[in-house]
Structures are given as structure tokens and as C-alpha cells.
């Protein structure tokens, strides 16, 4: 019996289907750790210690207990307030600066864009110390308390994430046709009114995406909050570190805390995914 | 009143005699239809960037300059109350880091430099190669393509402190899922590796970093692949070029600018990695996984050696400046090509 030689077309189809399977396998590997996080958060401590999982009988005890083991709600509330405020402020700064970079060619504009990239080159630890010392100094000599306060963290995060927000939003402004503003300008609008009444409303998806983008970064930030807070303004990553440091055996609660910390950003991301992805990709391809 | 009018706008291609303020700016940040530079439009543009500039100078640049200043000061537990008035140390901080072989900070610093280099090399290398491979896979038309592309992004959304917590749990030697898969289920290994202690700790932080970085690299490369001209591939296919040759001679050269940008920022972010080792191992990850940032933060804030921390930060930034220069020399032509 001789095997029938595969025609070129069949061979191509076999390869294509094989690559489809490979794609799904890669996807499985990519999301497996997240599935493991969720699965582990719903196991009893005994199951976790033995490493035998009972997926059919999930328990939500860890989700109930985690709030009292460490003051998890305090960390969560701080994270929500600080990240929301910082992302809003960064988006506000970025809306005007990004618009200027997208539409106007002005002396110093090029330097400004390079400086924005340049800020990414400064290690966080570099201005961490001076910011820390500055906050301590202000607290001693003035009634302005920034060390270990939410306001202090909001200011630091805003400054730190404004550059990326500007770049991100700029690509959205570039995608808006100039005809709208031109018409408004011809009708006697001031440049600012054209920006405020015509451009900004049209850039709403970009503004939302920028907000979420900055929010994702702020939510992830650990270095500054580790150094610039000691109790009042501590956010989720510190809570997580305290969890691991002090209750490292409570893996169920640890995983539940991980799920709770991930949910807000996950929801925000998937709700605005279309715009966010467009912004990221446009920025990459068009510069 | 000279508000910009249509006639102003249409002159964007005419050459003005004013020198371009930034001729060599990276990646051609040109406005799509730049308006002629008149004082009035300039003033409006300045007003638009002013808030961001003021704020960043105040909270970003001035402190960074202060950081360089501090690296020349002798700021530690005893002099901390003096803050910036702490005594000058000249180059002492740098000297003890770079040349004083008896100083424990010296060996600690070079250990961290080496670890950071290893970590950065593998993290960036694996992320870019893997990201490219996944982008090629999901670019193919297939059923459920949209779902696959969206779900592939999941690891990128998981905060790095959750990533570190989760992987620390998965790396456990006895009950961790990684060893269960490697040893108990597939029998790939016979001895249970210890991931969280000793030489393997480096991989315990590299692999989660790569996992979290892959989706972003994929997203950017996918955008590049989709923007690629279809005709080139068709022509090459007619000429008899196989998929590997097409990738080597068409895809890769056309993707060079994107690879360059990913490489630039990938290296910077990896060299400044802090969260993953810090969450996984605490403030001291041990000799095998101590990165620059964990070292600097530990010495500055746990041991109050602020002068050392500032000097090490400055050296780290210089290292990155050198990297940017090397990168610029290597990829300058690609950046100009995309203008």
C-alpha cells in the first residue's frame, strides 16, 4: 500500500489548521496563570497546602476573610482615590499639551517632545530621594503635609504619568481631521474655543483611553508608594507585600486579594479596550 | 486680530527661513498639517503646554536634579536631619561604589549591575522574540481571531504586584503548579527544582516579567504586520520565496523601526524593574536576584544610605544614557526611514 501523496493544497490546509491549534495552545498558556489565580482563590486552605484542587466545589471564604486579615479595604480605597485623581489630572495636562504637539509647530516643541521621552530615562529612585526629602522638609517647615498623604501621592503620580499620557493622547488628536477646527476658526472662533468646543468633544474616546492608560500605570506603581507612605496613603501593592510578609501561609486569601486587585483594572481595560488598543497601535506605527 | 486662517494653514510645505528647532527629533514628531509659526499661534501653543511643563519641572525635573546634587553629599542616618544642608562628600560616594574593593557596597553594586544586565538581556530578548511569534500567529485569519487577540492581552492587565504574588505561589517547590507540571505530570524533570532560593531566583523573576510583557510586544508588532504592504508578499511568493525567507527578507527589515522602539523602552523599563523582585522576595532578594532598583531602595530607605542611593541612581542613569547612544547609532537609519 502506498500512501497517497498529499496535494499542495491539502498540505497547506493541514499546516493552517495546525497553526490554528498552536495559536489556541499559546493562548491557553498565556491565560493559564490567571485561571490558576482565580481557581486558587476559591480553594480551602487544606486543598492549597496539599496542592489538590477541587474545582467543582469552590469556596468563597477567602474573599470574605481577606478584608480582616490585613486592612485590605483601606488599601483598596486609597488605590481607587489616588489612581483616579492622578489619572484625571494627567489626562487634563495631556489634553492641552498633546493637542499643542499634534497641531502646532512651535519653537521648542521638538525639544519638549524629546524631553518627554527623556523623563522616561530618569530612574524613579533618582527623584524619589529628593521628593522624599522635599516632603519631609515641607512637613517640618510649612503646614503642607505631603508625606504619607493621598494628596502627596496624587501629585507624584500625576507628574510621573503625564509624559506617557501626552504621547498617548497626541496620537488621537493627530487622527482627528483639522477641517472641523478650520471651519470654526474661519467662523471667528478663538483657537481656544475651537479646541474646547470642537476638538475635545470629538476626542472623547481618546480622553477616556488616556485616562484608563494612566490609571493602569498608576494602579501598578509600587516604588513611590513604598518610599513615600508609611500608613495613611498606602495602596494595594503595599497591602499585597504586607500580606506576603506576614501571612504568607494564607495563600487562599492572598490569591483572593490578587483577584480583587486585578478586577478593577481588568474591567476598565476591557470596557475601553477598542480605543486603548487603537491608541497604542497608532502611536507605534505612525510615531 | 491675526487668528490663523486657511491661508496660514496651507503654507505648511513652504520652507521658512527660521531654523527648525529640533531637526533630529526622534521618529518625526511632525504635526500633520503644521500651522505657520506666527507669534500668535506660538503663544497659544505655549499656553497649551505651559501647565504640563510647569508641573513636570516642579515635581519631576527639579527633584531629579536634586538627586544628582545629593549624590555628592554625605547624607545618612546621622546627617538626615540637615536634609540638603548635609556635608559635602565630593566624589566619595562614587569612589566607594566604583573603586573601594573593601567596601561591601562596592561588591553589592557590581553584583546588582551584573544581575540587572542578565535580567534585562533575557527579559527583553524573550519578550521581543515571543511577541513577534505570537503576532505572526494571531495575524493569520482564523475562526475566533478577535477573541484570541483580546484574550492574549490579559497578562498585560494583571498588575505586576499580583503577577509577582501569583508566580511566587506557583514557584513553590512542593505544591507549586510549575513543579507539579514539570515533575509529577510530565516527568520532564526528576528532582524538584527550588525556584525561590539560590541561582534559579533569577529565572523566577525573568519568566513572570516576560509573561507580563509579551502581550504588549505582540500588540505593537501586530500593528506593524497589519500595516505591511500585501503586494510585497505576493510578489515574493510568486518568485518562489518560502515563508522563512519572506520573514527574513521582507517582514524583519520592514519591522526594524518597531523593533528598535520596543528595544529602547524594553531595556529601560527592565533595567528599572523593582516591583516583581520586591514583592516576591521582600527588600532583599538575595545575591542571585538583587537588581539595581532593589539595591538602591534597600540601601537608601532601610539603611538610610541616601548618598549611596543617589550616586548609584546617577550611575544607573548614565548607564542608560550610554545605552541610548549605542541604540541611536545602531538604529538611526531606520528612524530616518520612517519619517
What is the average pLDDT score of chain B? 82
Give a three-class secondary structure readout of A110-168. HHHHHHHHHHCCCCHHHHHHHHHHHHHHHHHHCCCCCCCCHHHHHHHHHHHHHHHHHHH
Residues 14 to 33 of A: which have CB under 8 A from any B CB?
16, 19-20, 22-24, 26-27, 30-31, 33
Share of chain A above pLDDT 90, in %: 39
Q: What is the pLDDT of residue B163?
A: 95
**A40's grid cell:** 486558587
- pLDDT tens-place string over residues B194-206: 888 888 999 999 9
**B273 to chain A nearest CA, in Å?**
10
Average pLDDT over residues B148-164: 94
- pLDDT for position B194: 87
Q: Is B186 exposed, middle or buried (0-12, 13-18, 19+ CB in 10 A)?
A: exposed
CB contact under 8 A, B21 and A109: yes
Whether residue B317 and residue A121 make contact (CB cut-off 8 A), yes or no, is yes
The pLDDT of residue A283 is above 90: no
Please name the residue of chain B whose CA is at the shortest distance from the CA of residue A136: B83
Q: Which of residues 93-132 of B touch A (CB under 8 A)?
A: none
Contact A33 B167 (CB under 8 A): yes
pLDDT of residue B338: 56
Give pLDDT, residue B38.
60
Chain B CB contacts of A122 below 8 Å: 60, 64, 317
Chain B hits for A162, Cβ within 8 Å: 52, 55-56
The answer to whether A181 and A211 have CB atoms below 8 angstroms apart is: no
pLDDT of residue A61: 85
Closest to B129 measured CA to CA, from B141, B137, B118: B137
Q: pLDDT tier at B20 (50, 70, 90 boundaries)?
A: very low
What pLDDT is stored for residue B15 in this prediction? 35
pLDDT at A286: 58
- pLDDT tens profile B29-38: 444 445 555 6
pLDDT recorded at residue B41: 66
Residue B318 pLDDT = 92
Residue B245 has pLDDT above 60, yes or no: yes
Cα–Cα dist B108/B97, whole Å: 9
pLDDT tier for residue B79 given thresholds of 50, 70 and 90? low
pLDDT score for B77:
63
A105-114: pLDDT as tens digits = 888 888 888 8
**Would the CB atoms of A130 and B301 count as touching at under 8 Å?**
no
| Bridge partner list, B35 | A104
CB atoms within 10 A of CB A188: 9
Q: Does B206 touch chain A (CB under 8 A)?
A: no
Q: Do A131 and B63 touch (CB under 8 A)?
A: yes
Q: Cα–Cα distance between B206 and A201 in angstroms, integer?
A: 43
pLDDT at B4 over 70: no
How far is the first Cα of chain B from the last one, in angstroms, to the nearest whole number? 35
Contacts of A16 (CB under 8 A, 6+ apart): B140
pLDDT tens profile B103-112: 777 888 899 9
Judged against a pLDDT cut of 60, whether residue B11 lies above it is answered with no
Contacts of A112 in chain B (CB under 8 A): 49, 53
Cα–Cα dist B85/B6, whole Å: 57
Q: Across the interface, which of B26, B222, B292 has its CB nearest the CB of A117?
A: B26
Confidence tier at A128 by pLDDT (50, 70, 90): confident
Would the CB atoms of B274 and A223 count as touching at under 8 Å? yes
Chain A residue with Cα closest to B218? A281
Q: What is the pLDDT of residue B84?
A: 65
Residues of A in contact with B37 (CB under 8 A): 105-107
Alpha-carbon distance of B111 to A62, in angstroms, equals 40
- Position B128 pLDDT exceeds 70: yes
Q: What is the pLDDT of residue A2?
A: 54
Tell me the backbone φ, ψ of residue A61, rounded to 5 degrees. -60, -40
pLDDT above 50 (res B8) = no
**Chain B contact set for A270 (CB, 8 A):** 150
- Does A234 score more than 50 pLDDT? yes
Q: Are A226 and A146 in contact (CB under 8 A)?
A: no
Mutation pick from B8, B79, B159 vs chain A, by most beta carbons of A within 10 Å, is B159
User: Among the ranges A195-199, B80-84, B239-243, which has the highest mean pLDDT value?
Assistant: A195-199
**Grid cell for residue B333:** 537609519
Cα–Cα distance between B97 and A248 in angstroms, integer? 35
Q: Which cell is B162 given?
A: 499580583
What pLDDT score does A244 carry? 82
* CB contact at 8 A, B306 and B299: no
pLDDT above 70 coverage of chain B, percent: 84
Predicted confidence at residue A150, as pLDDT, reads 93
Spatial contact of B220 and B262, defined as CB atoms under 8 Å apart: yes
Q: Which three cell numbers stand for residue B268?
A: 529601560
B299 phi and psi angles, rounded to 5 deg: -65, -35
Q: Count A/B contacts: CB-CB distance under 8 Å.
A: 337
Amino acid B161: pLDDT: 94
- The pLDDT of residue B10: 32
pLDDT tens column, B266-313: 999 999 999 999 999 988 888 889 999 999 999 888 887 888 888 999
A191–B161 C-beta distance less than 8 A: no
**pLDDT score for B42:** 79
Choose from A18, A123, A139 for mutation: most chain B CBs within 10 A. A123
Q: Is the CB of B311 inside 8 Å of chain A's CB atoms?
A: no
Contacts of A228 (CB under 8 A, 6+ apart): A128, A131, A132, A135, A147, A148, A152, A153, A156
Cell of A178: 483639522
Does the beta-carbon distance from A222 to B160 stay under 8 Å?
yes
pLDDT above 80: residue A192: yes
Q: Does A158 touch chain B (CB under 8 A)?
A: yes
pLDDT at B2 over 50: no
On the question of pLDDT at A24 being above 90, the answer is yes
Exposed/middle/buried for B218, CB within 10 Å: 0-12, 13-18, 19+? buried
Q: Do A126 and B313 touch (CB under 8 A)?
A: yes
Q: Which residue has the higher pLDDT, A285 or A156?
A: A156
pLDDT at B23 over 60: no
Q: Please check the confidence at residue A75 and state whether its pLDDT lies above 70.
A: yes
Q: Which of B12, B28, B56 to mutate to test the interface with A (most CBs of A within 10 A)?
A: B56
C-alpha–C-alpha distance, residues B3 and A188, integer Å:
8
Mean pLDDT of B146-154: 93
Residue B241, helix vs strand vs coil: coil
CB B251 within 8 A of CB B228: yes
CA B144 to chain centroid, in Å, comes to 32
Which B positions 159-188 lie with beta carbon below 8 A of chain A? 159-162, 165-170, 174-177, 180
By percentage, how much of chain B surpasses pLDDT 90?
36
Query: Smallest Cβ distance to B29: which of A37, A113, A223?
Result: A113
pLDDT confidence of B40, banded at 50, 70, 90? low
The pLDDT value given to residue A165: 93
Question: How many C-alpha atoms does A128 have within 13 Å on its Cβ side?
Answer: 28
B30 touches chain A (CB under 8 A): yes
Identify the pLDDT of residue B12: 34
| List of residues 6+ apart from B179 with CB closer than 8 A | B171, B172, B173, B192, B193, B195
pLDDT at B164: 94
> To the nearest whole angstrom, how far is the Cα of B231 from the nearest Cα of chain A?
19
- Which residues does chain A have within 8 Å of residue B116's beta carbon, measured at their own beta carbons? none
Whether the CB-CB separation of B40 and B3 falls below 8 Å is answered with yes
Which among B46, B56, B223 has CB closest to A285? Answer: B223
Average pLDDT over residues A225-236: 90
3-state secondary structure of B276: helix
Q: What is the pLDDT of residues A60-73, one digit of tens each?
A: 888 888 888 888 89
ipTM of the assembly? 0.90
pLDDT of A103 reads 86
Residues of B in contact with A20 (CB under 8 A): 140, 142-143
Amino acid at each position: 500500500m502506498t500512501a497517497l501523496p498529499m496535494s499542495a493544497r491539502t498540505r497547506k490546509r493541514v499546516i493552517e489548521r495546525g497553526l490554528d491549534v498552536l495559536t489556541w495552545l499559546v493562548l491557553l498558556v498565556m491565560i493559564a496563570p490567571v485561571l490558576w489565580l482565580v481557581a486558587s482563590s476559591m480553594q480551602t486552605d487544606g486543598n492549597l497546602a496539599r496542592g489538590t484542587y477541587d474545582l467543582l466545589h469552590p469556596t468563597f471564604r477567602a474573599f470574605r476573610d481577606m478584608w480582616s486579615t490585613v486592612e485590605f479595604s483601606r488599601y483598596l480605597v486609597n488605590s481607587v482615590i489616588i489612581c483616579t485623581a492622578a489619572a484625571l489630572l494627567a489626562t487634563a495636562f495631556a489634553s492641552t499639551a498633546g493637542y499643542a504637539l499634534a497641531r502646532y509647530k512651535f519653537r521648542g516643541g521638538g525639544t519638549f517632545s524629546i524631553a518627554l521621552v527623556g523623563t522616561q530615562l530618569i530612574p524613579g529612585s533618582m527623584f524619589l530621594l529628593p521628593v522624599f526629602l522635599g516632603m519631609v522638609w515641607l512637613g517640618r517647615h510649612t503646614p503642607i503635609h505631603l508625606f504619607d498623604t493621598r494628596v502627596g501621592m496624587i501629585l507624584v503620580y500625576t507628574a510621573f504619568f503625564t509624559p506617557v499620557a501626552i504621547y498617548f493622547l497626541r496620537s488621537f488628536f493627530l487622527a482627528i481631521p483639522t477641517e472641523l477646527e478650520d471651519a470654526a476658526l474661519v467662523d471667528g472662533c478663538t483657537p481656544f474655543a475651537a479646541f474646547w468646543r470642537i476638538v475635545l468633544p470629538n476626542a472623547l474616546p481618546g480622553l477616556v483611553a488616556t485616562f484608563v492608560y494612566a490609571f493602569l500605570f498608576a494602579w501598578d506603581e509600587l516604588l513611590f508608594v513604598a518610599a513615600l507612605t508609611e500608613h495613611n496613603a498606602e495602596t494595594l501593592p503595599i497591602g499585597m507585600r504586607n500580606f506576603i510578609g506576614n501571612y504568607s501561609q494564607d495563600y487562599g486569601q492572598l490569591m483572593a486579594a490578587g483577584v480583587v486587585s486585578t478586577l478593577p483594572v481588568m474591567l476598565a481595560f476591557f470596557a475601553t479596550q477598542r480605543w486603548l488598543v487603537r491608541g497604542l497601535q497608532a502611536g507605534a506605527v505612525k510615531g | 486680530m491675526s487668528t490663523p486662517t486657511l491661508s496660514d494653514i496651507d503654507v505648511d510645505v513652504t520652507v521658512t527661513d527660521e531654523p527648525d528647532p529640533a531637526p533630529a527629533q526622534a521618529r518625526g514628531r511632525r504635526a500633520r498639517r503644521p500651522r505657520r509659526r506666527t507669534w500668535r499661534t506660538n503663544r497659544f501653543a505655549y499656553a497649551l503646554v505651559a501647565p504640563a511643563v510647569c508641573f513636570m519641572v516642579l515635581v519631576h525635573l527639579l527633584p531629579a536634579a536634586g538627586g544628582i546634587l545629593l549624590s555628592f553629599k554625605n547624607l545618612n542616618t546621622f546627617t538626615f536631619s540637615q536634609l540638603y544642608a548635609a556635608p559635602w562628600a565630593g566624589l566619595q560616594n562614587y569612589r566607594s561604589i566604583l573603586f573601594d574593593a573593601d567596601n561591601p557596597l562596592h561588591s553589592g553594586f557590581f553584583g546588582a549591575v551584573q544581575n540587572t544586565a542578565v535580567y534585562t538581556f533575557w527579559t527583553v530578548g524573550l519578550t521581543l522574540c515571543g511577541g513577534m511569534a505570537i503576532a505572526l500567529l494571531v495575524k493569520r485569519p482564523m475562526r475566533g481571531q478577535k477573541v484570541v487577540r483580546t484574550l492574549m492581552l490579559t497578562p498585560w492587565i494583571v498588575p505586576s504586584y499580583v503577577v509577582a504574588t501569583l508566580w511566587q505561589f506557583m514557584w513553590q517547590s512542593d505544591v507549586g503548579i510549575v513543579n507539579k507540571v514539570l515533575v509529577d505530570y510530565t516527568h520532564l524533570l526528576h528532582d524538584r527544582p527550588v525556584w525561590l532560593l539560590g541561582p534559579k531566583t533569577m529565572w523566577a523573576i525573568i519568566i513572570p516579567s516576560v509573561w507580563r510583557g509579551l502581550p504588549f510586544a505582540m500588540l505593537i508588532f501586530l500593528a506593524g504586520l497589519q500595516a505591511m504592504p500585501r503586494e510585497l508578499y505576493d510578489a515574493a511568493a510568486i518568485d518562489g520565496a518560502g515563508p522563512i525567507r519572506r520573514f527574513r527578507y521582507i517582514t524583519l527589515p520592514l519591522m526594524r523601526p518597531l523593533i528598535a522602539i520596543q528595544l529602547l523602552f524594553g531595556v529601560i523599563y527592565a533595567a528599572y524593574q523593582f516591583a516583581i523582585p520586591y514583592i516576591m522576595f521582600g527588600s532583599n532578594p538575595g545575591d542571585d536576584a538583587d537588581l539595581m532598583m532593589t539595591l538602591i531602595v534597600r540601601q537608601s530607605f532601610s539603611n538610610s544610605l541616601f548618598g549611596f542611593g543617589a550616586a548609584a541612581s546617577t550611575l544607573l542613569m548614565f548607564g542608560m544614557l550610554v545605552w541610548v547612544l549605542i541604540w541611536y547609532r545602531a538604529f538611526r537609519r531606520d528612524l530616518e526611514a520612517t519619517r
